[in-house]
């Protein structure tokens, strides 16, 4: 599709975006999507996955039908908004319209938007299902369902809603499943609601993303925040900082603010407006640090974010991938840096993840406020 067959509005947006050629995941999945195949795609964070499914689906929208034709499901508010932002960018010169349906947002306003008969729905499973049940969202013309960051959707919290949505649409619908990590168990489960899916796996070296350096610094748990503060102050960097849980994040946000740092937070207990404000301030460089939990940071797309800092070792290697994927993204001009600030007890777990993912981890130390490789 990345040739003369591309519709004029997409071709114009492609040229305006300055893209020279499609990424590996886009090149491999687009032809299958246009042919109507079910697809399971695993590709690193920041490798252009959203456009890999969005562009071929936009290419195939039937404008003569004022009905919902594509439903894109995502687990977090932020990811829904990020996908919608991409949709708006790529449909400026077309009649295609899309609506976001997010839990916690004003449902009456969403119902009003649905009356305008959008072609594309982007939403969280709970709210999408709620509006289907209320018969406010008609899905009898849906041709494709997309599961974005599918590993976060096929979890107990979303699974029942997800399967109910799938049962509500025509049986001959196309299913697309995209994620940075597709474990074997997830792929096997997907077979139950997909038709002979084609599986595409794109490795880091094929993804065309910039270089990322992985490092760690060891200190006592009580010193972690002080180490973080010194790194930020002496290196003059802006960073996205990950914590496993909200409680730990909140306590440390207070400590950093007390020490005079400009800090924002991103977690599930905050209102949608509060989260949006924190992201906006971070993008506008008003904040030095944006502290986030794993789920809340899904879908964050921050150009030229050169530092991701992890204040603990995630429980699974896939979480390490998702955290790390916020830096060194497609189109970034700077190299990405992923730094873990860990205790001696956590070092073993981090090294296990490094071995599993086949990445080189450099141990660093702080000397006169500067990060240097440990000899």
pLDDT tens-digit map of 147-186 = 998 988 988 889 999 999 999 999 999 999 999 888 888 8
Q: Which range among 154-168, 317-331, 352-366 shows the weakest confidence by mean pLDDT?
A: 317-331
- When pLDDT is cut at 50, 70 and 90, the band that residue 330 belongs to is low
Per-residue confidence (pLDDT) for residue 242, from 0 to 100? 94
For residue 205, name the pLDDT band (cuts at 50, 70, 90): low
How confident is the prediction for the chain on average, in pLDDT? 89
pLDDT of residue 211: 73
pLDDT at residue 206 in the model: 56
Quote the percentage of the chain above a pLDDT of 90.
58
Kindly tell me if the per-residue pLDDT of 268 is higher than 90. Answer: no
Same fold, 8-206 and 212-373: yes
What does the pLDDT read at residue 328? Answer: 62
Across residues 238-253, what is the average pLDDT? Answer: 92
Q: How confident is the model at residue 46 (pLDDT cuts 50, 70, 90)?
A: confident
Q: How confident is the model at residue 270 (pLDDT cuts 50, 70, 90)?
A: confident
Q: What is the pLDDT of residue 250?
A: 92
Decide if pLDDT at 208 tops 60. Answer: no
Highest mean pLDDT among 12-16, 38-42, 291-295 belongs to 38-42
What CATH number does the domain located at 8-206 have? 3.40.50.300
Mean pLDDT of 76-87: 90
pLDDT bin (cut points 50, 70, 90) of residue 227 is very high
Q: 148 pairs with which residues across the strands?
A: 178
- Token code pair at residue 56: 């071929």
Residue 2 confidence (pLDDT): 66
Which residue do the tokens 């992201």 mark? 279
Closest C-alpha among 138, 172, 10 to residue 66: 138
What is the average pLDDT across 77-94?
91
Can you give the pLDDT at residue 357?
81
Q: Is the pLDDT of residue 252 over 90?
A: yes
Tell whether domain 212-373 is in CATH 3.40.50.300: yes
**What pLDDT, on a 0 to 100 scale, did the predictor assign at position 223?**
94
- Say what the pTM is: 0.69
Q: Where are the domains of the chain?
A: 8-206, 212-373
Which of 37-46, 79-88, 318-327, 350-359 has the lowest average pLDDT? 318-327
Q: How confident is the model over 272-289, as pLDDT tens digits?
A: 788 889 988 998 889 999
């Amino acid at each position: 599709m990345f040739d003369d067959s591309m519709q004029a509005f997409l071709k114009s947006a492609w040229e305006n975006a300055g893209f020279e050629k499609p990424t590996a995941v886009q090149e491999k999945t687009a032809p299958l999507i246009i042919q109507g195949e079910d697809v399971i795609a695993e590709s690193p964070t920041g490798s252009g996955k959203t456009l890999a499914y969005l562009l071929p689906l936009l290419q195939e929208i039937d404008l003569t039908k004022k009905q919902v034709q594509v439903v894109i499901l995502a687990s977090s508010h932020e990811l829904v908004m990020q996908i919608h932002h991409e949709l708006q960018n790529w449909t400026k010169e077309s009649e295609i319209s899309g609506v976001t349906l997010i839990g916690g947002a004003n449902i009456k306003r969403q119902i009003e938007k649905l009356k305008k008969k959008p072609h594309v729905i982007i939403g969280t499973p709970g709210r999408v299902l709620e509006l289907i049940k209320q018969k406010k969202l008609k899905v009898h013309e849906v041709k494709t369902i997309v599961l974005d960051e599918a590993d976060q959707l096929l979890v107990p919290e979303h699974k029942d809603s997800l399967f109910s949505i799938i049962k509500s649409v025509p049986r001959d619908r196309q299913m697309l499943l995209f994620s940075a990590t597709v474990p074997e168990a997830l792929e096997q489960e997907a077979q139950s609601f997909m038709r002979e899916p084609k599986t595409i796996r794109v490795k880091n070296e094929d993804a065309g993303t910039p270089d990322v350096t992985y490092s760690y610094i060891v200190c006592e748990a009580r010193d972690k925040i002080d180490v973080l503060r010194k790194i930020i102050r002496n290196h003059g960097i802006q960073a996205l900082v990950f914590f496993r849980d909200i409680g730990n994040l909140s306590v440390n946000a207070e400590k950093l603010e007390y020490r005079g740092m400009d800090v924002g937070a991103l977690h599930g207990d905050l209102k949608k407006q509060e989260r949006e404000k924190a992201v906006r301030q971070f993008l506008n460089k008003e904040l030095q640090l944006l502290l986030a939990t794993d789920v809340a940071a899904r879908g964050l797309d921050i150009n030229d974010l050169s530092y991701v800092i992890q204040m603990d070792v995630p429980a699974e290697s896939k979480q390490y991938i998702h955290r790390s994927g916020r830096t060194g993204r497609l189109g970034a001009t700077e190299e990405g840096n992923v730094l873990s600030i860990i205790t001696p007890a956590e070092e073993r777990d981090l090294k296990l993840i490094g071995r599993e993912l086949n990445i080189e981890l450099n141990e660093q130390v702080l000397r006169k406020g500067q990060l240097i490789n440990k000899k």
